[in-house]
Amino acid sequence: MRKSFLAITMAIFSLTFVATSCSSDDNTVEEIVVKETGLQLNLKSDFANEYIDAKVEFVELNTAKKEVFTIKSDKTELKIAKGSYKITLNGKATNKEKVEFHIGASGEVDIVSDNQTIDLEIFVKSFANDFIIEEIFFTGVLTNEGKQYTNGKYFKLTNNTDKELKTGGLLILQSEFYSTLDHKVTPNIKEKAFAVKGVLMIHEKDSKNVKPGDFIIIADNAIDHSVSNGYDLTKADYEFPNRENPKLGQVDNPQVPDAEVIYTTMAMNMFFMHNRGFESYAIARFPEGVTKEAWMLENVYSYSYVNAAGNITEKKGYSVPNEWILDGVNCSIPTKWEQNLLGSSIDSGWTSVGTIDSDPLRYGKTVRRKIVGQMENGKHMYQDTNNSTDDFVPDSEASLKKGIVH
Amino acid sequence: MKLSNQKIVLAIFFLVVNMFAQENRDFFSRLDEQYSLEKTLQKPIYYNPAFMSDYSIYSFSDFQINYNQHKKDDYLLQEGGKEKGFAVQGKSYKKLSKGQNVWGEVAYRNFDIYDVQWNLNVDKDKIEPYFIADSSKGDRKYEVYFFKGGYVKSFSKIDVGTEFSYEAKMGYGQSDPRPKSTSSDLKLNVGASYKLNIPYKVGLYAQVEKYNQDSSIDFASLIEKSTIYQMTGFSDFNSYFSYNSMNAIYYGYTYKVGGSFKQFEKNNLYACFAISSNKLHKAVTLSTDYDINRLETNAYQLSFSKFFDFDNHRLGILFNQTHQQKDGYDIYYTNNKEILTKLLEKKQYKYKIDNSRFDILYTYKMNRATLSLNGVYELEKVSESKEESPLFKKITAHHFGLVASYNYKVNNRDNLMFTASVFQRKVSHSKAKLYVDNTTKESLRNWLDNDFKIVSNDYQNAKMSLRYNRQIDEVFGGFIGVDYNYLNYSDLGANNSYSLRVGITF
């Protein structure tokens, strides 16, 4: 018994050692097994006949991995790993008459089975022959004491056309929602209208004419902020100081006309930009004959969503129809982006300042539109494809660092 | 951190066990048995608490205070650089009447580790690769409490034993980001053995382990916050929860069963095996808890030894084989629905380690001294990979070592123990792709490159330990000791540590 046990045990341990030492060192090249599934992508459009340079980007929520596919027809079979995706499409299409359009689309899909289908509605991008947003400074600065200085922010709107434009009647719109938190509101109207929580208006009485290539500054507010490490905005064209909130300590510059806050959900009539860039902004004009009152009467936006506690939150606000919008920019943070707040026809991308939430490096930086050339008068011509991912340079140096120089 | 009432009660219980574990016996012989190399190598036998009935022919108790410092030129960034701290430890084994034995251990450790990076947790080995991590280097303070107690009773042919242990750990940092992790590890082990007619006994045991870790990160600064990553292996991390959550809970159970066959009294032959299975879940909290990862670990261990006696000479061969495989699952969520919803699970991570160790142990017992020489060869194979990705790591390493131990009876009251060892690790194969390309963040690349250089580098390791023991009276003895450890990487720098200890034995 004793000897046989010893023999059996020795045999086991010898076999174990041989099995271990003789197993391959696996010098072979690793084989990557990506468990892809088939996704049928159907583009839904009444006008598009042929797609040119249309690229669809899938971003997976859990891994942040991006997949980009070039689309040439309205039905495409894609191979992609299972996951939860946000989809954006940008490119061009032609109709049957061979007329070319810029197109955009957005959507989302959860891929869990081996064969799935998604329909993506295509929108034609609209380009107004009017002002564009050239730059937005929403981050603020840090004082020498390391404290946030929340004033001194601005919008820079530029005449990117070949004609003189008037500023009277311009509206600056601030999104109701955050790009970093998708409540899945019902109804979702973004492809028809822009839900707003604040609207600034430049009145006709304060209108001025702006030559091609020139710009205007709408500042919060029009004073010299350089004492607090901000920028000198005394030469701004318009300002929106808040005199009702004593904590802000803002003073009016009587030399500079005010852009009126015609609507805000914030207390004390404030129009206050999010300093981490969670919001989208747009510029618009009311159509001929539409007043503020008429807009508010006709464009009430009632929506609801399931809140974190699992209950239904119901809210009421206002929206601005997409047809009234001249230009718009979605802003977000790369690590927090969940949705675009503007319709695909206005902006099918997004831009940012900072790479993470509360990025300490964001202060003093802006989002600025790319320059693509020069106008006849030597002024800059800016890129505008209604895709701010391409059109804007994130984390830009502020153009007004040395004050306002036309 | 204050001791809870429960911990105080347990500490008192084990100290009482220590106090009663006194018995007259020869000072040299008792130390010779208690600290013999053979007993250290035969550790797998005593995983079954029923086998503790013949753990030692002597009762003993030790109580010691230990101070240690560790300086490192090169180190795994997640484990940190310089380390210093102290420990207080009590350990006891007592032979009671009527075939009963009790044993226990109580320990408290307090230490600091500097420059820890990419790891904001405790218990790295248990949760790897699902760390909460950030790119900044930070200093950590740790406190560890450990209690263990066991009891075995022998009947005519059957021994029945049980063992319980509890370890509580806390690690925290005092600069942003400020991690705070607490863990608890509870083990309950029951076993039985049966004496055969031949001078062998067979035994079976079963162990259940419950593990929890609660980690959270805080920032004192309201303006600046660095990114906290919920890592998923190599340079990958869960994108959604990394930027939305700064905490994690780890929880799970391990089940282990084992069997042994051993000659009783002389321990000239034993063989044992154990298999274990563990599921560790990781959850993060937003408005509610979300399980985001699961790690399934399966392992086995085989051990065998045979000893031969020739007068005062004893020669033994020992073999130990361990295998561990970890499969990691990522749990995906979607926010395309009204609320964040679980979407699917993917097996994305795989880790495997095989280790085969051979020992030859020679012991020569003289009148006033015992000399032990231990030759070691160890083969280690490690592989780690991610699914749906080119990332992998493979290492094969050979360890050669020689350990010498000399226990010398100066006189009836004084005793010297000296141990020296040299080890050489030779890496015969190492290959890896640690990140996809240079778009991976530089700090992540630096971490993975640094750690791979260390684990794939040859090294030479020398250790020395000297301990002087003096018997004070019939019951009490005292001791003082020093340990030194020097490790030199062939292509990198050198690390060294020392520790000083003073204690009593009774």
Instruction: Place A359 in a pLDDT band, splitting at 50, 70 and 90.
Output: confident
Residues A304 and A348 in one domain: yes
Mean pLDDT of the region A82-88: 95
In a domain, A15, yes or no: no
Instruction: Place B436 in a pLDDT band, splitting at 50, 70 and 90.
Output: confident
Q: Pick from A42, A41, A81, A39: which is nearest to A64 by CA?
A: A81
Q: Which residues of B112-135 are buried (b: 16+ CB within 10 A; e: fewer)?
A: ebebbbbbbbbbeebbbbbbbbbb
Token pair 């309205």 is found at A74
CA dist B219 and B458 (Å) reads 40
> Per-residue pLDDT for B240 more than 80?
yes
CA dist B280 and B183 (Å) reads 13
**Which residues touch B418 (CB under 8 Å, ≥6 apart)?**
B405, B406, B407, B408, B464, B465, B466, B467
H or E, element range at B186:
strand B178-195
> Per-residue pLDDT for A29 more than 60?
no
Chain A residue numbers with beta carbons less than 8 Å from the beta carbon of B334 are 61, 84, 110
Residues A139 and A117 in one domain: no
pLDDT at B301: 97
Q: What is the 8-class DSSP label of residue A287? A: P
pLDDT at A310: 83
> Per-residue pLDDT for B165 more than 90?
yes
**Which residues touch A373 (CB under 8 Å, ≥6 apart)?**
A380, A381
Residues A294 and A344 in one domain: yes
Residues A387 and A370 in one domain: yes
pLDDT at B4: 52
Instruction: Place B6 in a pLDDT band, splitting at 50, 70 and 90.
Output: low
Between A83 and A248, where is the model more confident? A83
- The answer, for B336 touching chain A at a CB cutoff of 8 Å, is yes
H or E, element range at B124:
helix B124-127
Q: Do A32 and B388 touch (CB under 8 A)?
A: yes
Chain B residue numbers with beta carbons less than 8 Å from the beta carbon of A306 are 338-339
Q: Which of B226, B335, B387 sits opposite A182 (nearest CB)?
A: B335
Domain count of chain A? 2
In a domain, A168, yes or no: yes
> Per-residue pLDDT for A27 more than 50?
no
In a domain, A24, yes or no: no
Mean pLDDT of the region A165-187: 95
**Per-residue pLDDT tens for B352-401?**
999 999 999 999 999 899 999 999 999 999 999 999 889 999 999 999 99
Residues A153 and A113 in one domain: no
**Sign of the CA dihedral running B197, B198, B199, B204:** negative
> Per-residue pLDDT for B406 more than 90?
yes
User: Mean pLDDT for chain B?
Assistant: 91
- The answer, for B224 touching chain A at a CB cutoff of 8 Å, is yes
Q: Do B330 and A357 touch (CB under 8 A)?
A: no
> Per-residue pLDDT for A137 more than 80?
yes
In a domain, A288, yes or no: yes
Instruction: Name residue B213's beta-bridge partners.
Output: B183, B250
Omega cis (within 30) before A221: yes
pLDDT at B57: 87
Residues A113 and A204 in one domain: no
Alpha-carbon distance A255 to nearest alpha carbon in chain B (angstroms)? 35
> Per-residue pLDDT for A8 more than 60?
no
Dihedrals φ, ψ of B101, to 5°?
Answer: -135, 145
Tokens of A329: 């920019």
> Per-residue pLDDT for A28 more than 90?
no
- Indicate the length of chain B as a whole number: 506
Mean pLDDT of the region B69-78: 93
Residues A101 and A246 in one domain: no
CATH number of the domain residue A88 falls in: 2.60.40
Instruction: Place A345 in a pLDDT band, splitting at 50, 70 and 90.
Output: very high
Tokens of A260: 């009126």
- Give the distance, in angstroms, between the CA of residue A241 and the centroid of all CA atoms in the same chain: 25
Q: Pick from B275, B118, B290, B109: which is nearest to B204 by CA?
A: B275
CA dist B15 and A249 (Å) reads 66
> Per-residue pLDDT for B20 more than 60?
no
Mutation target for B interface from A21, A62, A180: give the one with most B CBs within 10 A. A62
Domain containing residue A120:
36-124
Strands (E), A14-130: 36-44, 50-60, 66-71, 75-81, 83-94, 100-111, 115-121, 123-124
Mean pLDDT of the region A335-346: 93
> Per-residue pLDDT for B490 more than 80?
yes
**Per-residue pLDDT tens for B295-325?**
999 999 999 999 999 999 999 999 999 999 9
In one-letter notation, the amino acid at residue A39 is: L
Q: How many CB atoms lie within 10 A of CB A347?
A: 30
pLDDT at A2: 47
Point out the domain boundary residue: A102, A124, A146.
Answer: A124
In a domain, A161, yes or no: yes
Residues A119 and A157 in one domain: no
Size of interface A-B (CB pairs under 8 A): 126
Q: Pick from B192, B205, B187: which is nearest to B47 by CA?
A: B205
Instruction: Place B112 in a pLDDT band, splitting at 50, 70 and 90.
Output: very high
User: Mean pLDDT for chain A?
Assistant: 89
Tokens of B449: 């490159």
Chain B residue numbers with beta carbons less than 8 Å from the beta carbon of A13 are 302, 304, 319, 321
pLDDT at B2: 43
Q: Do A184 and B319 touch (CB under 8 A)?
A: no
> Per-residue pLDDT for A17 more than 80?
no
pLDDT at A246: 79
Point out the domain boundary residue: A70, A94, A124.
Answer: A124
Instruction: Place B143 in a pLDDT band, splitting at 50, 70 and 90.
Output: very high
Chain A residue numbers with beta carbons less than 8 Å from the beta carbon of B335 are 61, 84, 182, 184, 338
Mean pLDDT of the region A166-187: 95
Residues A187 and A331 in one domain: yes
Omega cis (within 30) before B129: yes
| B:392-411 residues touching chain A, CB 8 A cutoff | 392, 394, 396
Point out the domain boundary residue: A124, A155, A186.
Answer: A124
DSSP codes joined into one string, A313-327: EEEEEEEEEGGGEEE
Q: Do A17 and B321 touch (CB under 8 A)?
A: yes
> Per-residue pLDDT for B84 more than 90?
yes
Mean pLDDT of the region A139-156: 92
Mean pLDDT of the region B21-48: 82
Q: How many CB atoms lie within 10 A of CB A305?
A: 18
| Cβ proximity of A296 and A196 under 8 Å | no
pLDDT at A33: 53
**Which residues touch A97 (CB under 8 Å, ≥6 apart)?**
none
Q: Do B332 and A12 touch (CB under 8 A)?
A: no
pLDDT at B199: 84
Q: Do B239 and A64 touch (CB under 8 A)?
A: yes
Residues A378 and A321 in one domain: yes
In a domain, A329, yes or no: yes
Q: Do A82 and B225 touch (CB under 8 A)?
A: no
Alpha-carbon distance B381 to nearest alpha carbon in chain A (angstroms)? 9
Instruction: Place B221 in a pLDDT band, splitting at 50, 70 and 90.
Output: confident
In a domain, A269, yes or no: yes
| Cβ proximity of A379 and A212 under 8 Å | yes
pLDDT at B227: 85
In a domain, A259, yes or no: yes
Residues A187 and A328 in one domain: yes
Percent of chain B with pLDDT over 70: 95
pLDDT at A234: 95
Chain B residue numbers with beta carbons less than 8 Å from the beta carbon of A142 are 223
Q: Which of A13, A146, A357 sits opposite B243 (nearest CB)?
A: A357
> Per-residue pLDDT for B13 more than 70?
no
> Per-residue pLDDT for B3 more than 70?
no
DSSP codes joined into one string, B32-83: HHHT-HHHHHTGGGGGSGGGGGGS-SS-EEEEEEEEEEEEESS--TTT-S-E
Question: What Å distances lie between residue A153 and A139, A140, A382, CA to CA?
Answer: 7, 6, 22
> Per-residue pLDDT for A355 more than 90?
no
> Per-residue pLDDT for B470 more than 90?
yes
pLDDT at B287: 80
CA dist A214 and A225 (Å) reads 23
Mean pLDDT of the region A267-277: 92
Q: Which of A61, A81, A147 sits opposite B333 (nearest CB)?
A: A61
Q: Do A9 and B304 touch (CB under 8 A)?
A: yes
Mean pLDDT of the region B338-352: 93
pLDDT at A126: 81
Instruction: Place B19 in a pLDDT band, splitting at 50, 70 and 90.
Output: very low
Residues A190 and A90 in one domain: no
pLDDT at B47: 94
- By C-alpha distance, the chain A residue nearest B393 is A30
Chain A residue numbers with beta carbons less than 8 Å from the beta carbon of B304 are 9-10, 12-13
